[in-house]
Amino acid sequence: MSVRPAWKVRENGTATTWCNVRLAFDDGAGVDLLAAVREGCVAIEDVRARPALSLDDLAVLPDWIEGPLLEACGGAVGARSDDTSDEGSPDKRHARPARPRGMEALRLVAAEYSEAQQAGRDPVLAVMAATGHSRRRALRQIAGARDAGLLAPRHARR
> What pLDDT digit, counting tens, does each position of 66-78 carry?
777 777 765 544 3
Q: What's the pLDDT at 97? A: 54
Selected residue with higher pLDDT from 24 and 110: 110
CB atoms within 10 A of CB 139: 14
Read off the pLDDT of each residue in 16-30 and give the average, rounded to a whole number.
Answer: 83
Q: What's the pLDDT at 61? A: 81
Q: Classify residue 122 as exposed, middle or buried by CB count within 10 Å of its CB (0-12, 13-18, 19+).
A: exposed
Closest to 52 (Cα-Cα) out of 154, 136, 134: 134
116 three-class SS: helix
For 90, residues 6+ apart whose C-beta sits below 8 A from its C-beta are 1, 23, 25, 64
Domain ranges of the chain: 2-92, 103-147
Percent of the chain with pLDDT over 70: 81
Closest to 95 (Cα-Cα) out of 128, 52, 152, 136: 52
- pTM assigned to the model: 0.43
What digits encode the pLDDT tens for the residues 77-115?
433 333 434 444 444 444 455 667 788 889 999 999 999
